[in-house]
């Protein structure tokens, strides 16, 4: 009898370990590949280099196509392929075609790092577009820094980071989270006095909520009026949490700030509507829920709940019309699953901007060399579907973006209820967090640093006046 | 010419003024009903949501029932505005002007106007205030309920008039509560005490903050209430409400625990049969759940395409379909792989794990890697408010009832049918059963098929609660094994106890420890429990127990 139980227990353990199963493909393949490639390179080194200069430019795409994040990331892969295809149709970059290399890290964070190394070392990609969750970005970051790769990261994130090897085309907290909370505090937004900070348990929600807590303290909200809750990835039972939110909300106007990520959003919103939590009573503002995530949910009971992004599909301007038309045409031409029902969203727009910017920078630099392209990306301007010119900041590797706050409509689209007058400059280091207040992200001389309180180089030149923040 | 016209206008307006003065008493109310309404509706349908909210407020204060159809249409998304700013209501018979005397036909392109939260916060109380005179008792109750959420002074008179006419006690209670909330700020201490008494009776947690403010608790340094008598009443009401909230919380946690337990039970029941009775470590069990959920998805799509009228009943059809599909998959699995591996647990484990990966990949190829959407039928959407503060959602209630039915079915099958008798005989002593002429191979086949079929039923239930994707089974297999091991192998009652125990303990821990830490604590507790009592909660007695 006993053996049975030992067996079944060890089995449970084996299962827990097995979750990381697909990730165990060792990076040994990289070594094998370089070995086999070595004789060729040795025999004819000069022509090989020449071929590399005229042949296609390899571009890495690193998004989960399976697992809990596939709901969000699959469209980013598709829109990246669409943008690359349109660049190729227009003659490519530097007269060379772009060749996308798509890999699937399967929502498995260690696998992200392996796949990133594979892209840079084995495939020799000039640039990588990828990652959604911050934990996946944190996982690939050392690889990109160690191998001097170039990553364009297209999703809003928690800030508190600035890497020489990453360009952030999504929003920093001051371009999404802070304005959203300010809106909910305003009379128009419902004048919330109590706050529920609800998230998936990993680095992005934890850091965002830390910043928000400091921000709320600054606004005079006491700790008693803040409830912070986390659930694991893929959590599907939100009964207790929704009931607790209701209890906490009694008597004072309350708002929920949701940083729940991935497919947990479906059971969360289902529970919200089933328990009859209306947006007029307790509005929920989400930072990771857009048009794509709402596609699988009946949105009628969710009308009025909010999302904060830098782009919505419903924004009306010629660039966005073209973007949506291109996307619909691409979906139809490639017969992508769900065809007509496919939508555009903020990270897709950010992916699109990132690829355009990189292509412009390569044209300007005249080479795909990472060091040269990095210099050229700063200051690039792209006419974005958000209705404004998106500029890459000269210093901090982040985009200047407008902020929109919008309400869910019955048809699964969003209606904008508040927006900034124009693009806002990103602040990767939050001024509300004491530890990072003094930090500066500035990759220009004499700073050349993403995480410093004083410049790396001493210069006798007069300091360049800080450009006024774009408002 | 223009000059003449202007003078004519002036003459006409002064005449109108005189005429108005003559008939002042009813002319004013006519103006409010007609002209004002059209004006305000223009503002309501305008682009500025703050002005729209103010217009709605004014319509509420006027209390004119003529505004109700337009406001209701606004809330339902049936309000249209034409190029000239005229407002129309979309009905089944076409467009109707929203205000009497408005333009009959729209000019130019029509636009749908929908409220945002700013407007909706004004709109809902306005609708409620206008509905207080409705002849339908349920509508009045809902209206009173809405008003009690955010009472404002301008509805006080309307509520008092409605209260005088009201006969229904439930509506009366709610209306009294509205007045009570407004009376809390009254000058008269006896009115305040009466209001507190009403609030105490209602036991509604929403008033906790108000009471706390009065007695100076919960972050309020000084009590806002000066009168000690009133303050005593308030603190008594506060403690009464707090006790009630505690009680309600316990009932809530119990329900959530039972609900989680029933999910675990449905997931583990099939495993209890294959692992508990047959000693087959079936790692592909989770995939049976997944196949059951995907069968529900396919049935749903079939209904959507071919029987849209009966769409709400697709779930009923999905239940036998999922059972049959999973039964068939289970039978194929048993015949092709497992029958050769009886008595070799390690090989079975590895083989079924391989099968599980194969099944996941197959589903991925057929349906794609992304989750698929399984909608709740309309009769499972929403919930029942047991007490203020606890909503039992219909989908959870359905899963609990479904689990009970499935357990009953399994119990009857095991204990009341000849097949069940044979299964028990084979479980207890395979050689002896074979010697008695029981075809053990066929019994194995049937039992494994049944276990898989039950897992398919679990999949139907899971599709109503969470996501349906290729990895669905992976997240339940560990929990399923925990339930079976904890409950005691080979005992139906053990599986039930294990599932409910895990569910309730999990939900009791969750509020205190959080969802993440809660899971870890549960795992540690189970390991400790198995150390102390390796046979699980319920031990199988007799020869079979030693044989293992």
Tell me whether residues A3 and B548 touch, CB distance under 8 A: yes
A74, A266, A304 member nearest B117 (Cβ): A304
Tell me whether residues A240 and B249 touch, CB distance under 8 A: no
B207, B391, B466 member nearest A276 (Cβ): B391
Chain A, nearest residue to B471 by Cα? A67
What's the whole-number mean pLDDT along residues A459-471? 56
Query: Model confidence over A88-114: pLDDT tens digits?
Result: 999 999 999 999 999 999 999 999 999
pLDDT given for residue B517 in this prediction: 87
Q: Which residues contact A470 (CB under 8 A, 6 or more apart)?
A: A391, A400, A422, A423, A424, A425
Nearest to B260 by CA among B252, B249, B248: B252
Residue A87 vs residue B110, higher pLDDT? A87
Query: Model confidence over A39-66: pLDDT tens digits?
Result: 433 443 344 344 456 789 999 999 999 8
Q: Which residues of B touch A66 (CB under 8 A)?
A: 364, 369, 470-471
* Backbone CA torsion sign across A117, A118, A124, A130: negative
Chain A, window 162-201: residues with a beta carbon less than 8 angstroms from a chain B beta carbon: 188-190, 201
Percent of chain A having pLDDT more than 70?
Answer: 86
- Least confident range from A101-110, A314-323, B243-252, B292-301: namely B243-252
Tell me whether residues B364 and A66 touch, CB distance under 8 A: yes
Strongest mean pLDDT among A17-31, A100-114, B55-69, B427-441: A100-114
**pLDDT at residue A2 greater than cutoff 60:** no
Tell whether A7 lies on the interface with B, counting CB pairs under 8 A: yes
Tell me whether residues B205 and A251 touch, CB distance under 8 A: yes
Query: Model confidence over A434-459: pLDDT tens digits?
Result: 988 889 888 888 888 888 888 888 77
Q: Which residues of A touch B77 (CB under 8 A)?
A: 410
Tell me whether residues B118 and A188 touch, CB distance under 8 A: yes
Q: Where do runs of H (alpha helix) occur along A19-69?
A: 28-43, 45-54
Count residue pairs from A and B with Cβ separation < 8 A. 191
Tell me whether residues A3 and B205 touch, CB distance under 8 A: no
Q: To the nearest whole angstrom, how far is the Cα of A24 from the nearest Cα of chain B?
A: 15
Query: Model confidence over A160-197: pLDDT tens digits?
Result: 999 999 999 999 999 999 999 999 999 888 899 999 99
User: d(Cα B37, Cα B99) in Å, to the nearest integer?
Assistant: 6
**pLDDT at residue B298 greater than cutoff 60:** yes
What's the whole-number mean pLDDT along residues B418-439? 87
The two beta strands, A306-309 and A440-442, are: unpaired
Q: Which residues of B touch A237 (CB under 8 A)?
A: 256, 260, 263, 465-466
What's the whole-number mean pLDDT along residues B409-413? 91
Query: Model confidence over B215-273: pLDDT tens digits?
Result: 877 666 677 777 888 888 888 888 888 888 888 888 888 999 999 999 999 989 999 88
B448 neighbors B252 (Cβ within 8 angstroms): no
Nearest to A111 by CA among A69, A152, A133, A139: A139
Give the count of alpha carbons within 13 A of B207, CB side only.
Answer: 31
Q: Which residues of A touch B470 (CB under 8 A)?
A: 66
pLDDT given for residue A204 in this prediction: 93
Tell me whether residues A239 and B256 touch, CB distance under 8 A: yes
C-alpha dihedral (B108, B109, B110, B116), degrees to nearest 10: -120
Buried b (16+ CB within 10 A) or exposed e, A392-410: bbebbbbbbbbbbbbbbbe
Q: How confident is the model at residue A18 (pLDDT cuts 50, 70, 90)?
A: very low
Task: Check residue B537 and report its DSSP letter.
Answer: S
pLDDT given for residue B154 in this prediction: 78
Strongest mean pLDDT among A212-216, B91-95, B525-529: A212-216
CA distances from B87 to A321, A331, B44, B346 (A): 29, 39, 9, 74
The two beta strands, A399-400 and A404-408, are: unpaired
Tell whether A337 lies on the interface with B, counting CB pairs under 8 A: yes
Query: Model confidence over A119-155: pLDDT tens digits?
Result: 999 999 999 999 999 999 999 999 999 999 999 999 9
Interface test with A, best of B47, B116, B367, B388 (most A CBs within 10 A): B116
Q: To the nearest whole angstrom, how far is the Cα of B139 from the nearest Cα of chain A?
A: 17
User: d(Cα B51, Cα B43) in Å, to the nearest integer?
Assistant: 7
Q: Which residues of A touch B394 (CB under 8 A)?
A: 274
Chain A, window 267-326: residues with a beta carbon less than 8 angstroms from a chain B beta carbon: 267, 270-271, 273-276, 279-281, 283, 295-298, 301, 304, 306
Tell whether A5 lies on the interface with B, counting CB pairs under 8 A: yes
User: d(Cα B398, Cα B380) in Å, to the nearest integer?
Assistant: 8
Percent of chain B having pLDDT more than 70?
Answer: 90
pTM exceeds cut of 0.95: no
- Least confident range from A15-24, A427-436, B422-431: namely A15-24
């Amino acid at each position: 009898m006993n053996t049975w139980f030992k067996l079944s227990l060890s089995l449970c353990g084996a299962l827990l370990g097995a979750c990381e199963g697909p990730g165990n493909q060792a990076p040994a393949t990289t070594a094998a590949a370089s070995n086999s490639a070595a004789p060729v390179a040795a025999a004819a080194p000069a022509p090989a280099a020449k071929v590399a200069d005229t042949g296609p430019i390899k571009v890495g795409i690193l998004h989960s196509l399976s697992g809990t994040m596939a709901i969000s990331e699959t469209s980013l892969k598709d829109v990246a392929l669409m943008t690359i295809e349109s660049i190729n149709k227009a003659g490519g970059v530097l007269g060379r075609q772009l060749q996308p290399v798509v890999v699937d890290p399967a929502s498995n964070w260690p696998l992200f790092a392996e796949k990133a190394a594979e892209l840079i070392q084995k495939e020799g990609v000039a640039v990588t577009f990828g990652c959604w969750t911050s934990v996946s970005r944190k996982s690939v970051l050392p690889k990109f820094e160690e191998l001097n790769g170039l990553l364009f990261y297209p999703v809003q994130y928690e800030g508190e980071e600035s890497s020489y090897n990453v360009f952030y085309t999504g929003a920093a907290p001051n371009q999404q989270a802070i304005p959203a909370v300010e809106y909910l505090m305003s009379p128009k937004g419902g004048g919330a006095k109590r706050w529920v900070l609800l998230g998936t348990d990993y680095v992005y929600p934890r850091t965002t909520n830390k910043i928000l807590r400091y921000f709320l303290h600054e606004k005079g909200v006491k700790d008693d009026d803040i409830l912070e809750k986390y659930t694991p990835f893929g959590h599907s039972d939100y009964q207790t949490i929704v009931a607790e939110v209701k209890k906490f909300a009694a008597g004072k106007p309350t708002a929920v700030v949701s940083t729940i990520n991935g497919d947990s959003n479906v059971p969360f919103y289902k529970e919200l509507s089933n328990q009859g939590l209306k947006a007029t009573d307790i509005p929920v503002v989400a930072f990771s829920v857009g048009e794509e995530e709402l596609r699988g949910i009946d949105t009628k009971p969710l009308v009025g709940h909010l999302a904060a992004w830098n782009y919505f599909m419903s924004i009306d301007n010629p660039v966005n019309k073209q973007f949506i038309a291109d996307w619909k045409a691409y979906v139809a031409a490639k017969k992508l699953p769900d065809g007509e029902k496919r939508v555009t969203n903020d990270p897709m727009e950010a992916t699109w901007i990132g690829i355009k910017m990189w292509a412009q920078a390569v044209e300007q630099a005249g080479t795909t060399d990472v060091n040269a392209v990095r210099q050229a990306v700063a200051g690039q301007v792209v006419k974005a579907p958000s209705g404004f010119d998106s500029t890459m900041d000269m210093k901090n590797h982040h985009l200047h973006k407008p902020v929109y706050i919008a309400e869910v409509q019955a048809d699964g689209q969003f209606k904008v209820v508040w927006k900034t007058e124009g693009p806002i400059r990103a602040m990767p280091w939050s001024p509300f967090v004491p530890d990072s207040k003094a930090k500066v992200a500035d990759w220009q001389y004499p700073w050349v640093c993403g995480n410093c309180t004083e410049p790396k180089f001493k210069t006798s030149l007069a300091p360049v006046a800080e450009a006024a923040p774009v408002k | 010419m223009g000059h003449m016209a202007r003078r004519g206008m002036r003459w006409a307006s002064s005449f109108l003024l005189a005429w108005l003065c003559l008939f002042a008493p009813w002319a004013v109310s006519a103006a409010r009903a007609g002209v004002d309404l059209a004006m305000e509706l223009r503002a309501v349908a305008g682009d500025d949501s703050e002005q729209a909210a103010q217009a709605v407020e004014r319509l509420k204060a006027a209390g004119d029932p003529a505004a109700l159809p337009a406001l209701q249409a606004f809330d339902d998304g049936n309000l249209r505005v034409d190029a000239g700013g005229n407002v129309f209501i979309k009905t089944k018979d076409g467009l109707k002007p929203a205000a009497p005397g408005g333009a009959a036909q729209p000019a130019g392109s029509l636009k749908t106007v929908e409220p945002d939260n700013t407007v909706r916060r004004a709109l809902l109380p306005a609708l409620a205030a206008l509905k207080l005179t409705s002849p339908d008792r349920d509508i009045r109750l809902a209206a009173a309920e809405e008003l009690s959420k955010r009472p404002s002074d301008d509805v006080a008179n309307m509520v008092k008039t409605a209260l005088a006419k009201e006969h229904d006690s439930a509506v009366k209670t709610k209306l009294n509560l509205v007045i009570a909330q407004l009376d809390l700020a009254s000058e008269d201490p006896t009115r305040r005490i009466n209001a507190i008494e009403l609030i105490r009776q209602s036991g509604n947690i929403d008033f906790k903050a108000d009471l706390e403010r009065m007695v100076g608790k919960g972050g309020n340094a000084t009590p806002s209430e000066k009168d000690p008598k009133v303050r005593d009443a308030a603190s008594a009401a506060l403690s009464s409400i707090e006790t009630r909230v505690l009680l309600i919380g316990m009932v809530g946690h119990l329900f959530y625990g039972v609900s989680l337990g029933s999910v675990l039970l449905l997931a583990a029941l099939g495993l209890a049969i294959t692992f508990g009775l047959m000693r087959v470590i079936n790692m592909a069990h989770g995939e049976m759940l997944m196949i059951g959920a995907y069968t529900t998805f396919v049935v749903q799509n079939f209904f959507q395409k071919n029987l849209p009228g009966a769409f709400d009943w697709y779930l009923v059809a999905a239940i036998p379909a999922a059972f049959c599909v999973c039964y068939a998959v289970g039978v194929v699995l048993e015949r092709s792989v497992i029958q050769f591996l009886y008595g070799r647990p390690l090989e079975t484990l590895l083989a079924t794990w391989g099968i599980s990966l194969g099944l996941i990949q197959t589903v991925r190829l057929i349906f794609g890697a992304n989750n698929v959407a399984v909608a709740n039928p309309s009769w499972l959407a929403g919930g029942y408010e047991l007490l203020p503060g606890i909503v039992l959602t219909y989908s959870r209630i359905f899963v609990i009832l479904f689990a009970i039915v499935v357990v009953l079915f399994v119990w009857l099958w095991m204990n009341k049918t000849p097949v069940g008798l044979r299964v028990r005989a084979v479980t207890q002593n395979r050689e002896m059963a074979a010697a008695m002429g029981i075809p053990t191979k066929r019994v194995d086949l049937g039992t494994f098929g049944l276990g898989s079929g039950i897992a398919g039923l679990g999949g139907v239930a899971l599709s109503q609660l969470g996501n349906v994707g290729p990895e669905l089974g992976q997240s339940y297999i560990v929990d399923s094994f925990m339930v079976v091991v904890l409950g005691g192998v080979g005992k139906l009652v053990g599986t039930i106890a294990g599932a409910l125990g895990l569910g309730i303990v999990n939900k009791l821990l969750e509020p205190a420890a959080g969802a993440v830490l809660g899971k870890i604590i549960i795992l540690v507790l189970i390991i400790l429990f198995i150390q102390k009592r390796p046979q699980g909660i319920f031990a199988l007695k007799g020869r079979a127990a030693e044989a293992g």
